[in-house]
Chain A
Amino acid sequence: MSENMVEVKNLKKYFNVGKGKELKAVDGVSLFIRKGETLGLVGESGCGKSTLGKTIMKFYEPTEGQILFQDRDITKLSRRGYLNFTKEAQMIFQDPYASLDSRMTAGSIISEGMDIHKICSSKSERQERVYELLNLVGLNKEHANRFAHEFSGGQRQRIGIARALALNPEFIVCDEPISALDVSIQAQVINLLLKLQGELNLTYLFIAHDLSVVKHISDRVAVMYLGAIMEVSDSHNFYMNPLHPYTEALLSAIPIPNPDVTRAKKRILLEGDVPSPVNPKPGCKFASRCKLAKPSCFEKAPELKEVEPGHFVACHMVSGE
């Protein structure tokens, strides 16, 4: 068995937006996630990072390409196969208000999956498991009978995490799990996710746009732009030695909470906006905003190449073509 939890090969997800136009949300992504690691996925809004996460979770049918989960091809799954897959892979969502049914109690939200998969033989066993999960995410058993609307944003996110953990999954897609929370609550949830990973040996795909958070929680970071992966490296190299011009610009744009450092920092200001993913032009996706762009960049899209061990970059200028 390979050491990869997930392997994605040339994955494409196009949405038909009418009039023969196609929105290429994910356009030829290849990546792998090792067992027990956290892969951070960063990019600006509309770059396709959530679509990629949801396609891996099989919420969307991929247009093309292959997804391997623990060496099994899950691109085409039967209903039964999908049910088995959901036991092993779960998701935590961005908005803790929209993702929980406010007319259900915390206990019934958490145990819904256990009922579907019939993993508890008795009512008391089920209740024990709910208490155990609530305890695990830092709530207590009195919370089980309360309704979702009675909880604060941070507590709701904890319930969402408990629900994801209910079936003992090995892989969790975290789609911007903290961006709807306040700063002081964000740190609590980050700590919780780190603690759970240590205790339960989980593998995360952590999707976010906050680079400091992603760098903090991830072993490796993938940078996405307009449906394509631009750079993948370990999180230390991501910050210390970014090679792709887009990664450099992203890193230079984050304000650092330290006045002297942030004011002394030289900013690379990108001009213009992200182009539309509807019928994108050929060539490198970033070419229209890139300072290094040469005519060849507008013709041929660069491939993701390993330029040093474990460090992949998709750029003609860096790989020296």
Chain B
Amino acid sequence: MKEEQVLLQVEDLQVSFDTYAGEVKAVRGVSFEVHEGETLAIVGESGSGKSVTAQAVMRLTPDDQIQYKNGHIRFEDTEVLKVSQKEMEKIRGAKIGMILQDPLTSLNPTMLVGKQIAEGLIKHQHLDKAEAIKRSVEMLKMVGIPNAEQRACQYPHEFSGGMRQRVSIAIALACNPKLLIADEPTTALDVTIQAQILELMKDLQKRLGTSIILITHDLGIVADMAENIVIMYAGRLVEKGSCKDVFYRPGHPYTWGLLESVPKIDQASKEELDSIPGTPPDLHSDIKGCPFKSRCKYAMKICYEQAPEAFELGEKHTASCWLYHENAPEVKNPITNRECKSDE
């Protein structure tokens, strides 16, 4: 694979929120990069900090409600965490677009769909109103909405769920951004509609060369869409690698658990699934050692004392787990017996 340019670099990001119950450390040191034209998937359960990470990239949360404790986010030449909100406005919508989970709440219910798409074009590309509306009809056509001219003059409630998500994609891509952040874009949709939207995203990426950060908990979607994968747990990054690395040679026990706990459609029915016992830790408190230790069947003494560093398992494949320390006992990876047909 040729060396692509780094579009976005996140380094040791730490984010906290102040709540009545105390400080919540939502993200606890996450680093990754997104290259031009690639799809990076961030996988994790609810509360793992995946959405907070993505929102930090856009500085979406009002500055007085969030604390960026540490780390850099570099998007092209911009230090995202250092510039003013005014500067960010030039990037948001123009260079980074976003699609959210629920298209009904992310669209303005009192505004014509065409106008919502035109808004960004008028602000960022300084088009006049007529031109912007013309362009927004083109965008609607591009995302596969029939009768685009009439549909542009309708309100979001007149669209179905899948169609609304197409509208959000049209808004996000209107200014031809370099990066698209898709936060659970299909979770609220049905499978047949989900397939349509994923197909559309792949197709548009091929045509426009947009990089995508895909946030999801659905491993099936990740297997279909992503080139690289980041797995998050309790605000930390536990594993990072290419799609093949993570699915066929996963290193972290949490990744093993995730892969084993989804029923496979080609698996025999009514067998017991290998579930991960217990629940994720409370993010109010400091976590001593590895965040996964209490649910991990391989946990050792050191896991309770010291957080593991990222161990290198292969080229650009890391797992934060003490099992890869040279003094750790040998553990058989339960995933290796899965089929790896086209393993090169």
Contacts and interface: CB of A to CB of B under 8 A. Distances in A.
Nearest to A254: B191
A184 B257 contact: yes
B64 interface: no
B193 interface: yes
Contacts of A260: 341-342
Given A255-B218, A257-B220, A212 B263 contact: yes
B160 interface: yes
Interface residues of A, number: 48
B336 interface: no
A218 B269 contact: yes
Interface in A231-278: 235-236, 239, 249-263, 267, 269-270, 273-274
A216 B244 contact: no
B274 interface: yes
B24 interface: no
B269 A259 contact: no
A214 B25 CA distance: 37
Contacts of B269: 215-219, 235-236
Contacts of B319: none
A152 B278 CA distance: 11
The size bracket of the interface on B is 35 or more
Contacts of B221: 255
A274 B190 CA distance: 10
A186 B195 contact: no
Contacts of B208: none
B224 A191 contact: no
B138 interface: no
A239 B265 contact: yes
Given A191-B273, A249-B192, A255-B223, A239 B266 contact: yes
A64 interface: no
Given A212-B265, A217-B270, A257-B223, A269 B196 contact: yes
A190 interface: yes
Contacts of B153: none
Contacts of B270: 194, 216-217, 219
Interface string B270-281: 111111110100
Interface string B212-224: 0000011111111
Contact of A259 (B198, B243, B279): B243
Contacts of A270: 192, 195-196
A211 B265 contact: yes
Instruction: Indicate the member of B163, B198, B219 with the most A CB atoms within 10 Å.
Output: B219
Contacts of A215: 263, 265, 269
Contacts of A154: 279
Contact of B220 (A44, A152, A218, A262): A262
Nearest to A180: B46
B193 A273 contact: yes
Contacts of B224: 255, 259, 262-263
Contacts of B274: 187
Nearest to B340: A260
B264 A212 contact: yes
Interface in B215-246: 217-224, 243-244
Interface string B169-185: 00000000000000000
Contacts of A253: 191-192, 194-195
Nearest to A276: B160
A233 B248 CA distance: 33
A113 B277 CA distance: 30
Contacts of A273: 160-163, 193
A154 B45 CA distance: 13
Nearest to A257: B219
A45 B190 contact: yes
A194 B275 contact: no
Instruction: Indicate the member of B198, B224, B269 with the most A CB atoms within 10 Å.
Output: B269
A213 interface: yes
Given A154-B279, A260-B341, A269 B199 contact: yes
Contacts of A211: 191, 265
Interface in B45-79: 45-46
Given A194-B272, A273-B163, A257 B190 contact: no
B267 interface: yes
A261 B341 CA distance: 9
A183 B247 CA distance: 16
B243 A190 contact: no
Which are the 8 A-B pairs with shortest beta-carbon distances? Answer: A255-B220, A187-B275, A187-B261, A216-B263, A257-B219, A44-B190, A253-B195, A182-B45
Interface of A: 44-45, 152, 154-155, 182-188, 190-191, 194-195, 209, 211-213, 215-219, 235-236, 239, 249-263, 267, 269-270, 273-274
Interface of B: 45-46, 160-163, 190-196, 198-199, 217-224, 243-244, 247-248, 257-259, 261-267, 269-277, 279, 338-339, 341-342
Given A216-B271, A270-B195, 18 more contacts: A183-B217, A187-B262, A190-B273, A190-B275, A209-B190, A215-B263, A216-B270, A216-B273, A219-B269, A219-B270, A235-B269, A239-B265, A253-B195, A257-B247, A259-B224, A259-B243, A259-B244, A259-B247
